[in-house]
Structure 1
């Protein structure tokens, strides 16, 4: 069997994870680091399981929210994996307590393990679905101005964090939003983690970007009538500066065919490497009846 880590062992695991700016293809390591640290800090209020192939010299880690009343629905479905050994990944997938027939979302699963995952799911009798490719984008330099010096191009707007009451707006405008489950997740993340929002002179949000509990930035959006004014770059610079001040490594995921997002984030100072390609994979997803 695999080993489910105690909190003291999880602290030991976090200390073993050194985020190196020169090793930026390991986005799964960054996600593990931030999720575990936020969990230990009490910023993730539901119970989680962190399983390793062996201990203490682990080579693969699986983590997810426990399937009990403490976890919201989005956390129960979210599944993450990080490994440094293919044999370790095979061992972990084979022996984990995870129920592979349940609805699951593998978040930013590194493509290097795709064939191993397919092989494992076939043995479990779980059909392998279509999935979406993403690339991991990293903010590669530390020249972003501080929050106080992020320049406003329009004195009629202001920039501060999002507010929890904006959860419905963010959910409604997000490509993957529009459900009560997504709104619950966004409300939690706005209430708990950094975010940035440009507000008009009446205090209405016009452009924003958030921070996920597993460390990446996401759900960035500008209302159509306010595009082309540089507001998203303002919000992004604000959030980048907050991340750098907190010691976070700013990174996000860009869908492989979203060229507009690539252009915007390249201007901001982001870059990506082929080894950072990953996939969002829905397992046992219920088909819509509509």
Structure 2
């Protein structure tokens, strides 16, 4: 018997969210955390474009894919983004065959777990779509696997010349310009959306200028962390990060982020902050048909 995939209704999606338990005492797969945040934000109206959440079967699903349902309704940065979470390789194989994905179009697989790379390549080979190494940014998933962090009100510094507060949309161009993949209208659109919709943490100097910051993506990871060069070495990024960790814990989110393989500075900073990573969290941002 051929089992068909199923697109979830909103009520079914609520049931799926309630079925997801993020484990604070052990390693929670980043794809589960991403699914939880994406689905909850969609149900809360914080993702204003149409999305599809598809499962291999229901209600005892073993794999989920989610993506933009209608490109016309989505901002440019989200139109080609595709996500997968699975606990069964057979479930993954089934969803890779979903009619919801046009594998010959421009696609970005967001933080695709490397444990599924062989299965993905087998499927792409059948579609005649190459898996180019140069378009895959390999990362470790860094998790803050603790129940506590200094409360937001207690995250402070002996430097009384700085303050910690959220970013505002007027800072979007600066954030975009300082990101190595930024400086485009698409990135500026993404940054403006993130700042306007989700938590962020920024250290401001005595004149109210942002000097170090970190943002929150709609799928739950922290990102675009940066400190202006002239303000590095002062502990400002640690302040911003502790503030963000505290906010995530208050909201019931598992604080996590992605660190590219060659970014040793980021590894050092986040290890000091209490983050850790294992082989299970290895993933890649995979661009297809570019």
Match of 1:67 among 70, 75, 97: 70
- Verify: 1:44 aligned to 2:36, yes or no: no
User: How high is the TM-score relative to the length of structure 1?
Assistant: 0.96
| CA deviation map 1:19-72 (0-9, x unaligned) | 112342411001001100000000100000111111111111110112332211
| CA deviation map 1:223-274 (0-9, x unaligned) | 0000001000000011111111111110101111211101000111101111
Match of 1:262 among 242, 261, 267: 267
In 1, the alpha carbon distance for the partners of 2:140 and 2:58 equals 31
Paired position in structure 1 for 2:163:
158
CA contact (8 A) 1:25 1:275 kept: no
SS in 1 for 2:142: strand
What's the offset of the Cα at 1:276? 0.7
In 2, the alpha carbon distance for the partners of 1:117 and 1:22 equals 30
4+ runs deviating over 6 angstroms: none
- Verify: 1:272 aligned to 2:277, yes or no: yes
SS in 2 for 1:76: coil
SS in 1 for 2:79: helix
SS in 1 for 2:140: strand
| CA deviation map 1:116-159 (0-9, x unaligned) | 00010111111111112100001122342111111213111111
Paired position in structure 2 for 1:149:
154
Alignment of 1:51-130 (within 5 A): 51-130=54-133
In 2, the alpha carbon distance for the partners of 1:166 and 1:278 equals 30
Alignment coverage as a number of residue pairs = 285
In 2, the alpha carbon distance for the partners of 1:23 and 1:102 equals 37
Paired position in structure 2 for 1:241:
246
- Verify: 1:198 aligned to 2:203, yes or no: yes
Point out where structure 2 has 5 or more consecutive residues left out of the alignment: none
CA contact (8 A) 2:53 2:65 kept: yes
- Verify: 1:210 aligned to 2:215, yes or no: yes
In 1, the alpha carbon distance for the partners of 2:91 and 2:103 equals 18
In 2, the alpha carbon distance for the partners of 1:230 and 1:97 equals 45
What's the offset of the Cα at 1:2? 1.6
In 1, the alpha carbon distance for the partners of 2:148 and 2:50 equals 38
Paired position in structure 2 for 1:176:
181
CA contact (8 A) 1:25 1:273 kept: no
CA contact (8 A) 2:82 2:107 kept: yes
Alpha carbon RMSD of aligned pairs, Å?
1.0
Paired position in structure 1 for 2:31:
28
What's the offset of the Cα at 1:97? 2.1
CA contact (8 A) 1:100 1:124 kept: yes
Paired position in structure 2 for 1:288:
none
Paired position in structure 2 for 1:19:
22
SS in 1 for 2:109: strand
What's the offset of the Cα at 1:103? 0.8
The worse-fitting range, judged by mean Cα deviation, of 213-222 and 67-76 is 67-76
In 1, the alpha carbon distance for the partners of 2:257 and 2:7 equals 28
